[in-house]
Amino acid sequence: MKIERLDGAIYRAAEGFERELEGELDDARPIGGGLYLAPGRRAEWAIDVWSEPVRITFDKLAGAASALLSLGPRWTLLPVALFDRAAHVERMLPPCPLEPIRFPARPPPAPGVWTLAARNEIYASAKTASPFPAGEPRFVEDKTHPPSRAYLKLWEALTLLGEHPKRGDVAIDLGSSPGGWTWVLQSLGARVVSVDKAPLAPAIAKLPRVESRQESAFALDPRSFSRVDWLVSDVICFPERMVALVLRWLAAHPKARFVVTIKLKGATDTRALDPLRAVPGSRLVHLFHNRHELTWMRP
Residues acting as catalytic residues? 263
What is the DSSP code string of the chain? Answer: -EEEE-SSEEEEEPTT-HHHHHHHSSS-EEEETTEEEE-S---TTEEEEESSEEEEE-SSHHHHHHHHHHH-S-EEE---S-HHHHHHHHHTSPP---PPB-TTSPPPPPPEEEEEEETTEEEEES-BS-SSGGG---B---SSS-SSTTHHHHHHHHHHHT----TT-EEEEET-TT-HHHHHHHHTT-EEEEE-SSPPPHHHHTSTTEEEE-S-TTT--GGG-S--SEEEE---S-HHHHHHHHHHHHHH-TT-EEEEEEE--SS---GGGHHHHTSTT-EEE--TT-SSEEEEEE-
